Chains A and B, each alone.
Chain A
Amino acid sequence: MSWTRRFPAVPAALLAALLALLSLFAAAPAAQAHEERPVTLPDGTGSVPVYRAGEPDLLVCKTDRPAFERRVSAFPEALRQRNLALYERCEKAGYRHLQEAVDAVDRPGMNIAILPGLYEEEPSLPKPAGECAALKAPDSSLGYQILSYEQQVRCRHNQNLVAILGKTNLQIEGTGASRLDVVIDAKYQKLNAVRADRSNGVYFRNFTAQRTTFNSLYVLAGDGFVIDDVLTRWNDEYGFLTFASDHGLYKNCESYGNGDSGIYPGSASDINDGRGYEVPRYSIEITGCRSHHNMVGYSGTAGDSVWVHDNEFDQNMGGASMDSAFPGHPGLPQNHAKFERNLIHDNNQDYYRYVADGTCAKPPAERGYEQGVVCPQISMPPGTGIITAGGNWNLYEGNWVYGHQRAGFFLSAVPAFIRGEEAWSKQTDTSHHNRYAGNVMGKDRAGAARPNGMDVWWDGQGRGNCWQDGPDGSTPGTVPQCGAARGDLTGASARLVGEPVKLVQLLVCADYSVQARKLPAGCDWYGARGLERVETQIALAVAAVLLLVGGVLWWRRLRGSRLGTAASLLGLAGLALDVAGSTAGLVATFVPALALLLLGLWWTGAGLALRADRPWLARLTLLLAGLTLLDAFDKAVLMIPWTPLSPAWVRALVALVWVLWAVVASARPASPAPVGTRTPPPPADPGPAPAVGGAPGPASGGARTPAAARGAGGDPAPAPAVAAGGDPGPAPAVGGAPAPAGPASSTNAAADRRSDHPGTDGPR
């Protein structure tokens, strides 16, 4: 699954340069890593198997008859009689272990019935010996070997409690009154409890599989499978993992207690690549399932063409996620998932505490999964309904999404190099055309208010994404709106890259490692609050720099101007609001945009006030003002449709230059104009053009004239043009120039991030 290691997109051009650089840094190995053997997606000629109600061909039961009779004693009479009859038959001609029955399957279309009981599959448990202990196979980073299919056949219990290899149309059904009557328990001694590999048409029904160090029920490279009324729980990674498969159906299933996700239709057959919203069919259908108390309920790295409807995903850290953040999954980038009428709510668990306190460092059997411990395998934002980290053409329609402390919907891009694809053209191939429409947000099915912290968190990247009208809280403050029909939208934007502060935040947050017990400080996914959050820290740093620079500028250059003073006051307010707007509680409100508006007004006023005296600084200030106001507009009113970058990026760069310039301008010893006498210099600056270049020296000659008129006494000869420019005001000869070096250098981050304060992460 797992979206999370996502990383916001980077403009393709930059990336190209980067990749070139990278080749110098890391001799990028050509080998591709995989944790499963190379597989082939099915050719799609199969079909979803149909349940066969006929008499079983093979029976599995345990020997203890009194125990069996006790187990079935409370069944409805007809079912009890049937079980007793089956037991009769099984005692004579049945198997004691499921694997034995599977081994006895000798033709397609056989039915195995498992009678109520606990199946530990003891013969499968001994550690590999002989040839199987010395298989030549690559190791995965998780400490197990990546076996070929042939090796799986030869040593089927190296990793699997029950191995179903190469069987066709096999049906395995528990005969109990509920799925809990048949329990297949791996006791954390195997990676997989039940593995169906290259077994087209497999049908699982009415049992429980549990306690593995990877996943309980694993369907790999199958064309046609059904998971019907099966419970899986307490696994290091997944409850159900169906990989590189087609024609699949999950129904009425349940999964909980998994360190990654309950349901993972990974690399579902990518049958709709290249299509728009209308598709002929979906490769996997998931319905009537409940997935709860996992890291995420559903995950879909390369979960392509999966139709997920009428399920409930609740009480996880996140409800569902789709992503393109991991290499080696056939079918990336993820596309064409359709979520309809699902109940996605109250996914607010915080399982990172079990990583922090060392619980997850114990062996799996000792972690206490059965008592509610979950060890989240990757980084993700807890308190979120549906996460899409790199995905296209996904439809999220008619779901109920409520009660999330962070956000209802979370959308970000993932550039292709993250998943190991380095072609320049692919770097911005996510996230586009995701449609969030007709969902009931912040209300349960009965209509009671259960608001999300915010309805929408979006990094701002991608084209053709849209949301339903009136999200209750969103960042950015305004998002493109879906029209009535799929594909219709207003306020569309098409950005190559997300908002800068969000990018920084995602970077910080991604540095998680459960094994190293590393929970990045500064990221509120792991509990950072208030000043601990990187977004707020950045906002504070930026505010400090701008306060200093702005303050000095005002003192040195704007004090005498009423406009300049008023503007500076607005700037002060803007900075305060900017910091406030970076906090979790206010990020999805109007505050960030208001802060931008005030800052824009500050720079507008300052620019106007500086015009006469420092025309080029004034122009730069006005440019910054314009960009800031544009950014405010972009975030509060309408995302500017035709720019490939958010105004925040440009603004950040301009702000950086401006800070440096303003520092220099303030630092120049000002001409000691007679205090109190305002001799407005001739507004026209004769020689501005050369001066601008910032080129000190000769250019100043021309510029000096007006200054001289004003009494240029203190202007040392080589004064750069800037300083030479008219000093309208009372420019007092303030002794100490603010040390430019300090602020300037710390400004990079500051200036940059300040550009995008609204980009902070959602509230928790």
Chain B
Amino acid sequence: MSAAGAAVGPRAEDIRCDVCRIPPPVRRARRRAARTAALLTLVLLLGGGAATGCGGRATTHHKPGTSHEEASGSAGTLLTTDDGAGHRLREVPAEGAPKVRLTARPDSEDGWNLQLALDSFDFTPDSTGGAALRGAGHAHLELDGRKLARLYSPWFHLPAAQVPEGAHTLTVRLYADDHTAWAVSGKPIEATIPLAGGGQAAGHSHDATPPTSTPAPTPTPTPGQGPGQAPGQTHGQADRTVTITVRDGKVTPAPARTELKRGERLALRVTSDRADTLHVHGYDKELALPAGQEATLVLTVDRTGLFEVETHASGLVLTQLLVR
């Protein structure tokens, strides 16, 4: 240590330090000098003027670099109102404010694929928890006001199982890194679409940002039964699934009883080798069976008793439902 002290001692004079950068006028001169030196060196060493073509210059240090311009102003104004879940609203001017639109398309397997179309907004998952910066943050996805998920990207898969049967409202709302909700004119920046559980999404969203006119949603065509039906809407939330295949007039597995409790949801997944119609007696539910394609009928067995499930055209009994 003493040795070190000795080594350090002499250095204790004021030493000019430059945390790496250089003030301009002086530096520039120096830089010019250095460049000249470099070029001259080359010229001399290479024995001629050809080196000037190499264009190098030895700047002696860090050029000014990026602007280092300090940001100013605020990222909106915190309002006293909140989003209903304790997140305060953060008001920003309508001009340049983020915008969001929401689209839901039925997925071919299960549920929906949601897409957020965003303007003036970036997802910043890595800085979540930091301060609010304009045009950045994340989104919340809500079903009837209940938060389903935090979104960090424009695409999200919503499983059918998360959407109970019936009509619902799906909402996406934009939040800042500090979990305040971006708002314009005192209203959160959000988009909503109606969604039918056990059915299908109604289609496009409102552009809810500026709370102005909301274009009527263009509902996507009802998938209906048969091939167009989105299976996910149905068996996704079934308590029981029974899979049956009809081939050459034979039913597999062999017809038997299916025991159920009253109130359970049952999915019947039937594949027939010829076009037919599935019929559940007692409940009088029908479903078109396309040839060679699986179709699924979902029903809630809300009455007790023994009910036959059969095909109309071929007149086969597929199973019997024993509901207690």
CA distance A331 to B13 in the complex (A): 12
Contact partners of B318 in chain A: CB under 8 A: none
Instruction: Tell me how far the C-beta of A267 lies from the nearest C-beta in chain B, rounded to whole angstroms.
Output: 6
What is the minimal beta-carbon distance from A653 to any residue of chain B, in angstroms?
A: 6
A36 at the A/B interface (Cβ < 8 Å)? yes
CB distance from B44 to the nearest CB of A (A): 6
- Report the stretch among A413-421, A433-441, A612-620 that lies at the interface: A413-421
* Known contacts A26-B32, A259-B65; A33 and B58 CB within 8 A of each other: no
Q: Is the Cβ of A5 less than 8 Å from the Cβ of B22?
A: no
Tell whether, in the assembled complex, residue B129 and residue A325 are in contact, meaning their CB atoms are under 8 Å apart.
no
A244-263 toward B: CB 8 Å interface, digit per residue (1/0)? 10100000000000011000
A217 in contact (CB, < 8 A): no
Name A649's contact: one of B23, B45, B63 (CB within 8 Å).
Answer: B45
Stretch at the interface among A100-108, A506-514, A524-532, A622-630: A506-514
- A534–B55 Cα distance when bound, in Å, is 10
Interface segment out of the listed A15-23, A570-578, A706-714, A728-736: A15-23
From the candidates A2, A27, A66, A510, name the one contacting B57 in the complex (CB within 8 A): A510
Nearest-neighbour CB distance to chain A for B255, whole angstroms, equals 53
Asked if B4 and A281 sit within 8 Å, CB to CB, the answer is yes
Tell me the complex Cα distance, A143–B66, Å.
11
In the complex, A752 has a CB within 8 A of chain B: yes
List residues of chain B with CB within 8 A of the CB of A364: 66-71
Residues 24-36 of chain A: 1 if any B CB is under 8 Å from the residue's CB, otherwise 0?
0111110111111
**Chain B residues, Cβ within 8 Å of A656:** 46-48
B22-53: which residues lie under 8 A (CB-CB) from chain A? 22-27, 29-30, 32-34, 36-38, 40-42, 44-51, 53
Task: Give the contact stretch, choosing among B119-127, B200-208, B211-219, B220-228.
Answer: B119-127
In the complex, the answer to whether A747 meets B133 with C-beta atoms within 8 Å is no
In the assembled complex, A371 has its CB within 8 A of some CB on chain B? yes
User: A326, B48: Cβ atoms under 8 Å?
Assistant: no
Partner of A514, one of B3, B34, B58, B63: B63
A43 touches B20 (CB 8 A): no
In the bound assembly, the distance between CA atoms of A1 and B130 in angstroms comes to 27
B7 close to chain A: CB less than 8 A: yes
- Interface segment, one of A73-81, A133-141, A399-407, A695-703: A133-141
Q: Which of A38, A260, A752 contacts B16 (CB 8 A)?
A: A38
Q: Which residues of B contact A35 (CB under 8 A)?
A: 18-23
Give Cα distance in the complex from A21 to B24, angstroms: 23
Using Cβ atoms and an 8 Å threshold, which residues of chain B touch A326? Answer: 18, 20, 22, 60-62
B15 at the interface (CB under 8 A from A): yes
Give the contacts of B105-147 with A (CB-CB under 8 A).
Answer: 122-124, 126-127, 129-131, 133-134, 136
Q: Please determine whether A500 and B55 come into contact, CB atoms closer than 8 angstroms.
A: no
Tell me if B313 counts as interface (CB < 8 A to partner A). Answer: no
**Chain B, Cβ-Cβ closest to A32:** B16
A241 at the interface (CB under 8 A from B): yes
Check A466 for interface membership: any CB of B closer than 8 A: no
User: Which A residues, 613 to 647, have Cβ-Cβ distances below 8 Å to chain B?
Assistant: none
Choose from B34, B54, B59, B129 the contact partner of A417 (Cβ within 8 Å).
B34
Q: Are A5 and B62 in contact (CB under 8 A)?
A: yes
Q: Is A363 an interface residue (CB 8 A)?
A: yes
| A229 interface residue (CB < 8 Å to B) | no
| Closest chain B CB from A268 CB (angstroms) | 11
- Closest residue on chain A to residue B23 by CB atoms: A33
**From residue B269, how far is it (CB to closest CB) to chain A in Å?**
41
Q: Give the contacting residue for B54; candidates A43, A144, A507, A652; CB below 8 A.
A: A507
- B residues in contact with A365, CB < 8 Å: 71, 133-134
Given contact pairs A28-B33, A142-B68, A280 touches B46 in the complex (Cβ within 8 A): no
Supposing A2-B20, A26-B29, A259-B66 touch, asked if A273 and B127 sit within 8 A by C-beta, the answer is no
Report the separation of the CA atoms of residues A625 and B160 in the bound assembly, to the nearest whole angstrom.
81
Kindly state whether residue A467 has any CB partner on chain B within 8 Å. Answer: no
Q: Which of B9, B23, B41 contacts A15 (CB 8 A)?
A: B41
Total contacting residues, chain B, CB less than 8 A: 77
Chain A 374-411: CB-based contact to B (< 8 A → 1; otherwise 0):
01011000000000000000000000000000000000
Q: Are B56 and A328 in contact (CB under 8 A)?
A: no
- The CA-CA distance from A327 to B126 in the complex, in Å, is 36
Given contacts A29-B29, A328-B22, A515-B63, A745 and B38 within 8 Å (CB-CB)? no
Q: Do A5 and B58 contact each other (CB < 8 Å), given the known contacts A143-B69, A244-B17?
A: yes
Minimum CB–CB distance from A402 to chain B (whole Å) comes to 26
Residues of A close to B124: CB separation below 8 A: 370-371
Q: How far is the CA of A210 from the CA of B22 in the complex (A)?
A: 25
Give the Cβ gap from B50 to chain A, nearest Cβ, in Å.
3
Contact between A188 and B70, CB atoms less than 8 A apart: yes
Cβ contacts under 8 Å, B44 to chain A: 14, 17-18
Instruction: Tell me if B284 counts as interface (CB < 8 A to partner A).
Output: no
A189 to chain B, nearest CB (A): 5
What residues on B are CB-neighbors of A25 within 8 Å? 32-33, 36
Residues of B within 8 A of A274 (CB): 7
> A45 interface residue, CB < 8 Å from B?
yes
- Pick the interface stretch among A179-187, A442-450, A674-682: A179-187
Q: Which residues of A contact B12 (CB under 8 A)?
A: 40-41, 43
Q: Does B166 contact A (CB under 8 A)?
A: no
B86 contacts partner chain A, Cβ-Cβ < 8 Å: yes
Does B95 interact with chain A (Cβ within 8 Å)? no
Does A120 count as interface, using CB distance less than 8 angstroms?
A: yes
Contact: A31 with B133, CB < 8 Å?
A: no
- B17 near A183 with CB under 8 A, answer no
- The smallest C-beta distance from A444 to any residue of chain B, in angstroms, reads 26
For the complex, what is the distance from the CA of A378 to the CA of B63, rounded to whole Å? 7
* Residue on B nearest A185 in the bound complex, by CB: B131
Among B11, B17, B23, B55, the residue within 8 A (CB) of A38 is B17
Find out whether the CB atom of B15 lies under 8 angstroms from the CB atom of A330.
Answer: yes
A66 touches B86 (CB 8 A): yes
- Inter-subunit contact B60/A327 (CB<8 Å): yes
Cβ contact within 8 Å between B56 and A18: no
What CA separation (Å) do A144 and B65 show in the bound complex?
Answer: 13
A533 within 8 A of B: no
How far apart are the CA atoms of A344 and B15 in the complex, in Å? 33
- Contact at A141–B22, with CB atoms within 8 Å? yes
Q: Is the CB of A504 within 8 A of B54?
A: yes
With a cutoff of 8 Å between Cβ atoms, the chain B residues found around residue A140 in the complex are: 21-23
Whether a CB of chain A sits under 8 angstroms from the CB of B84 is no
Which of B8, B56, B126 is in CB contact (< 8 Å) with A370? B126
- A5 touching B68 by the CB < 8 A rule? no
Check B19 against A241 for contact (C-beta < 8 Å): yes
Contact A143 B68 (CB under 8 A): yes
Interface residue? A234 (CB, 8 A)? yes
B30 / chain A contacts, CB cutoff of 8 Å = 26, 28-29, 33, 327, 420
Partner-B contacts on A (CB < 8 A): 1-2, 5, 7, 10, 14-15, 17-19, 21-22, 25-29, 31-45, 66, 118, 120, 127, 138-144, 146, 180, 183, 185, 187-191, 210-211, 213-214, 234, 236-237, 241, 243-244, 246, 259-260, 266-267, 269-275, 280-281, 301, 325-331, 360-361, 363-365, 368, 370-371, 375, 377-378, 417-420, 500, 503-504, 506-508, 510-516, 520, 522, 534, 649, 652-653, 656, 745-752
Which are the 9 A-B pairs with shortest beta-carbon distances? Answer: A507-B56, A328-B18, A748-B50, A748-B48, A35-B21, A34-B18, A749-B50, A7-B58, A330-B15
Between-chain CB contacts (< 8 Å), 19 pairs: A29-B29, A39-B15, A43-B5, A43-B9, A44-B5, A141-B24, A146-B23, A185-B130, A189-B71, A213-B69, A259-B66, A280-B4, A327-B18, A327-B22, A328-B22, A365-B71, A515-B65, A749-B54, A750-B50
Apart from A7-B58, A40-B13, 19 more pairs, CB < 8 Å: A5-B61, A25-B36, A26-B32, A31-B26, A36-B18, A140-B22, A142-B64, A187-B71, A189-B72, A243-B17, A269-B8, A363-B67, A365-B133, A417-B37, A503-B42, A504-B42, A507-B55, A653-B47, A748-B49
Binding site for A on B (CB under 8 A): 1, 3-5, 7-9, 11-27, 29-30, 32-34, 36-38, 40-42, 44-51, 53-72, 75, 86, 122-124, 126-127, 129-131, 133-134, 136, 178
